[in-house]
Structures are given as C-alpha cells and as structure tokens.
Chains A and B, each alone.
Chain A
Amino acid sequence: MAFNFKEVMNKPERLAPGHRMCAGCGATIAVRTVLRALKPEDKAVIGNATGCLEVSSFMYPYTAWEDSYIHNTFENAGATLSGVETAYNALKKRGRLKENYKFITFGGDGGTYDIGFQSLSGAMERNHDLVYVCYDNGAYMNTGIQRSSATPMYADTTTTPVGSQSNGKMQNRKDLAAIIASHDVPYVAQSTLIGTMKDLYEKSEKAIYTPGAAFLNVMAPCPRGWRYDAADIMKICKLAVESCYWPLFEVVEGKWILNYEPKKKLPIEDFLKSQGRFKHLFKPENEQLLVQYQEEVDRRWEDLLFKCSR
C-alpha cells in the first residue's frame, strides 16, 4: 500500500503522551513511528531493554504503553521476547489463544550493540518472529553519555572525554546492521527520522509483517548527548543521511538494497559541526582528524555501494 502521510498520522497512538522522555528525544519519535506500522486490529507485546525509554515510560504505577509491555533487564530484551513469542506459539497451538499478536522490542545502543548483544544474536539466529528495534543514539545516554560501541569516532563522551591527551573516542563505531545481516535473518534495515518518516514507517511495516526475525537500526539523536538545539533534530538526521554517515538501506533475504543515494554527497563536516560532541574537531590543529573522518565515511559508503551492487 502506498504511503499516505495523513492516514498514517491519524492512526491511534500506541505510546500515550505523559511519559517522561526529554523534549525532542529521537527515541520517542522512532518508537511512535514504528508502532504506527502495526495494523490497528493487531495486538502486540512490546519488549524493552533497560534504558531511557524504559525508565521514562513505565514508572510504577503508570505506563505509557497501550499494548502489553515487558521490561526485564538491560541485556536480555532479545531473549525475553523470544520467550514471549514462543509462549504465543505454544498457546496458539494448544488452542488457548485466538487473537493475532506481533512482537516488537526496543533497546538503546547500549542494550543492543553491547551488553545485550549476545541475547540479540541468539534471538536473531533462532529466527523468532519478532522485530528488534535499536534506537541508536550512539552512547549510554541513560547513565550520562558514556561511550558505547555505537559511539562514532572522536565523539566527546563522559568516558572518552576530550582533553589535552585525548580527542574523544579513538575507535570507529561497530556496524551492527551488517552484523545482524550476517545472521541471515529475513529482514534487516537501517533508517532514521527523515521527512515524513516514510522510510522508517515502511521499513517497520516490512519488519513487523515479514515472518521471522527482523532488525531495525534507527539513528535516534539525543539532544543532550550530542549537544545540539533540540529543535534541530530533523536537520541533524538529514545531514547524517546526506553526508552518507548514516545510509538508508535494507537487507531483504540476504539481498542488500540501497534506499537513498544523495545527489550531492555532503562533506562529513556538515554533520559533525552541528554537534557539541565534535566541537574539538574544528580546532585548527585537528584538521587532519577531519580528513581521516571523511576517509572513514567514504570507505564505509563505498563498501555499502559494493554490497548493494551485487
């Protein structure tokens, strides 16, 4: 079905207002978009790794979730939803449940790339019929902006602080979407918050309604951690895509598909300079770091183009 913005936006909200996420938080926008992709008649169980989203949306005795919801711990969202999905199969098989349910779990990059990586990998390899959505804001934001393996190179975080002997995080970010694609699951996609959210909405729909395990990696900026004006979120996401820092792609049954190629690839500086966490890169003595940065973005982009050309 063709994407109809008005229709999509008029779907009932499944994350109620009144939760305590920060104004302008990218994770919340991502969650609402993903949940809109559920057919209104379908029920869902939502899982959640410990993180900002969990502690701000289900503070006893209040929950913002219209659907059934389970938070277990930081590192086991994949395994917990594996159990829920298997219980669904068992109850269906035994004639104790008639309704259709879908299973979606959310985790930040800490709970997904790092501490929850094993649990995620297991759930993907076993091919449970669920969607794991990583809202990737590139650091452990809930505990106060510590580096994760999703943190981009040279980012200033509280455990990779910039100082006289440090230019921030020394390593490149882990390419988790590619790692999950290597699990040979039916559907993997990378997206972010762009325009009408068509990209994320359609990928969510595919992820939810493709039988088997699906993984969505959604760049979800954090105004506090990235240090930009909260109102600029859509601009930041656009710069990430236009600079090829955060390409939009899908891996469908092992086939890599590029969803968007900028007409004119913007220099990485355009993405970096809008954020306080990269401020140090624009000191005259750090010019070489920016050159390196661009080389790394180009290398990854070329690699992606190659994968998508096969």
Chain B
Amino acid sequence: MSIRERMSGNEAVAYAIKQINPDVMPAFPITPSTEIPQMVSTFIANGEIDTEFIPVESEHSSMSATMGANAAGARALTATSSCGLAYMWELLYVAASDRLPVVLALVNRALTGPININCDHSDSMGARDAGWIQIYAENNQEAYDNFIQTFRIAEHPDVRLPLMACQDGFITSHAVENIELIEDDKVKAFAGEYHPENYLLNPDMPMAVGPYANSPFYMETKMNQRLAMENAKKVILEIADEFEKISGRKYGFFEEYRLEDADYAVVIIGSAAGTTKDAIDELREQGIKAGLLKIRVFRPFPGEEMAKVLSHVKAIAILDRAESFSACGGPIGSELKAALFDFKFSGIAVNYFYGIGGRDYTVAEAKAVYSDLIAYADGSKPVENYKYIGLRK
C-alpha cells in the first residue's frame, strides 16, 4: 500500500533520495534548495541511509565532486538553485560531454541581477543548451515521482547523460501538500544500483576521463550527445511506463489538460500549470474551449509531439517564466514556435512572460490570457507577440 503523507517539495525530493540511498552527495547550501542537503545530512546522521555526503565549499565544487564520484563508479547527485547552477555552468557542459549520468535536484530560482530568491526559470532555462536532460514538476507529487525516475533515465546505457529534475522554488519546494509515497522496497527495486560498464575504480580496466579533443574529434562528441538525447526520448517513456506499474501514476513528455477539443491553449512549465487549470475549468463552464499543455520534459524537446497535439488549436499562448533577451521571444516561445512552423501549424502562437522573479500569476490573469487568444483568433484584437502578465504599470 502506498503511503499518504503531507510534505513540501524539498521534503519529497529528500525522501526520494533517502529511498534511493545513492552513493555520494556533495552539496552547498543555496535558497531555496538548502533543505535538501540538510535533510539528507540528517538522514545520514541518524543512520537512516549511508550515502557519503561531502560538504563542499561552493557549488562549483559540488558539481565537480559529483562528477568525480560518478566517473569513479558511484551513483552521485547534488542539489542547487539559481546562482549555484550558474556557478556550475562550465561543468554542466563537461558532465554532458563526459557522459556522466549525474543527477541534479534543481529548485528553480531567479538568477541574480538584481538578487532575488523567488521562483522563475532563468537558472535552468539558461542551462538548456548544456546537454542535460531537464524534467520539470508541477507539484510536490511530481517532484517526488520525477526524482525517483531520474537515475534510471540518466544511467540508461543508450542515454548516459546528466539530468536535472526541476521544481519551482518556494511555490512547490516549501509549500506542504498531500502526497502519495511509494513503499521503500518498491523504490529500491525500481532504482536499483549503479553498475557502469567503465569507471575509474574498475580494477580490471583503468579509464581516462576528460581528454583534450580538438577539431578531429570534438564534432563527433557533440553529435553523439545529440544522439543520446534522441535516445532519451524513448527511455524517458519506457521508465515512465515502468514507474506507472509501481505507482499507478502516468507520465509522458507533457500533460494535456482539456486540450483534445480546445480552441485556445496555454503552454506552460511548472507550478503555474495548476493555476491555469483552475482558469480552464471556469472558462469551460462558460462554454469556452480552453485547454493546456504542461511541459514535463524540456530536454530532449518534444517539439514534434507537441506540435501534433496542438495542431487543431486556433490560438496558443506560450508562457515563459524566463527571459532570453533575444528581443523576439523566450526559451519555450522560440523553440515551440520553431516546432509549430516545422509541422505546418496554421493558427496563432504568441509568447507571454509571467512569474519572473516570483511575480504572482493568478487565475484571473490566466483567464485574461485566454480572452486575448479569443480576440486574436476572431480578429477583434491585433496580435501582440510579446506580452507580460502582471507587469507594474
């Protein structure tokens, strides 16, 4: 029987770590992810798990040590947020190119400039091209469920890529919600142990990691990373199927909410999906065919799959919780529009920015987005392609 509990998102991830009992966890505190290493340290201090914890002197070193441990043959992870991820930047690319299946519990927070401890996605979206798998959670349940699947995806022989499991800072990391936990033995059996083919501490075959590889080999390295990312699509779905068997909960690249017959759709990532769903329910009562596509897997980017399920929609609002300062769209906006173009989408697609630096996003504001879409679709309002939600006047 699964266990009914009440937990914050950070507690949920720490609980998943406890159930997996990984080999090594180096970490450095940063709001709002700090609780995760604190809780793991407490589990270790109380003898509940025997993970080796390294209290490193920076996030740069937490990622470096995680990579070293993983290359050595250990299942290794770390946790961070915002500037912590930014400080790891250089290493993110190295982890991906060295094909180290490390896992990062990312609690999304705005990047400094000015300093801001609240949620947006500028940290992980900035790292979107680093070669990491990125999976996002809407709520505490998803943060827990996603985390349990992480190592299996990352370590799969056809993938061998680092993975960041993201959840929204404070909104899910600190808010306590009901959660359904899976029994320890089931999680343990599901997660298994890490037994790589090649690793530094293999007494039968030494290994060298991190070569100098100039123009004769660099391009192939990158091409192989792309192939691994393509393979990850298949593996993510396989692991999700396996996970459904132990949990009864179904996961894919994205969730469709009342999208099947929708004329107007919002595309979003993370906790704001819940607010949007409430808006949709209200609009549906008024007979407005509103729907939602909530992205779970952003890397690899399921462009074709999303374009397919959005093909019948008259107008789409793509909501970004991060700027990319291209002056022509945010990260999800640009990529999804490119995919929609490739798959001959003939409707309207506009890009909104919301929740930047923790700005509220309300049901009323979500409903206003659908009003815009209706007006764009019937031609009563000229299409504005770059809008802010909740911006101070």
The chain A residues found within 8 Å of chain B, CB to CB, are 43, 45, 47, 54-55, 58-61, 63, 65-73, 75-76, 78-84, 86-91, 93-94, 96-99, 101, 118-119, 121-122, 125-126
**Of B182-190, B204-212, B249-257, B339-347, which binds chain A?**
B204-212
- In the complex, what's the smallest C-beta–C-beta distance from A108 to chain B, in angstroms? 15
Known contacts: A91-B201, A118-B57, A118-B58. The answer to whether A86 contacts B65 by CB under 8 A is yes
Residue B275 interfacial (CB < 8 Å): no
Interface size class of B (residues with CB under 8 A): 35 or more
What's the dominant secondary structure at chain A's contact region?
mixed
> How many CB-defined contacts (below 8 Å) exist between A and B?
168
Kindly list chain B residues whose C-beta atoms are within 8 Å of the C-beta of A47.
Answer: 68
The reply to whether B71 and A70 contact each other, CB–CB distance below 8 Å, is yes
The reply to whether B50 and A76 contact each other, CB–CB distance below 8 Å, is no
Residue of A nearest to B66 (CB): A83
Known contacts: A68-B208, A80-B67, A122-B57. The answer to whether A73 contacts B94 by CB under 8 A is yes
The reply to whether A70 and B210 contact each other, CB–CB distance below 8 Å, is yes
Tell me the complex Cα distance, A55–B210, Å: 10
The chain B residues found within 8 Å of chain A, CB to CB, are 23-24, 26, 50-52, 54-58, 60-62, 64-74, 76, 90-91, 94, 200-203, 206-214, 217
Tell me the complex Cα distance, A67–B206, Å: 6
Kindly list chain A residues whose C-beta atoms are within 8 Å of the C-beta of B24.
Answer: 83, 86-87, 90
Tell me the complex Cα distance, A99–B203, Å: 7
Partner of A79, one of B68, B71, B73, B217: B68
The reply to whether A69 and B208 contact each other, CB–CB distance below 8 Å, is yes
A/B interface sample: 15 pairs, CB < 8 A: A59-B211, A61-B217, A70-B208, A72-B94, A73-B91, A79-B61, A80-B65, A83-B69, A83-B70, A87-B74, A90-B74, A97-B203, A119-B58, A122-B57, A126-B56
Kindly list chain A residues whose C-beta atoms are within 8 Å of the C-beta of B201.
Answer: 45, 68, 84, 87-88, 91, 97, 99, 101
Tell me the complex Cα distance, A232–B343, Å: 69
Known contacts: A73-B91, A79-B68, A89-B52. The answer to whether A118 contacts B76 by CB under 8 A is no
Residue of B nearest to A20 (CB): B212
The reply to whether A87 and B206 contact each other, CB–CB distance below 8 Å, is no
Tell me the complex Cα distance, A78–B127, Å: 24
Partner of B60, one of A83, A98, A119: A119
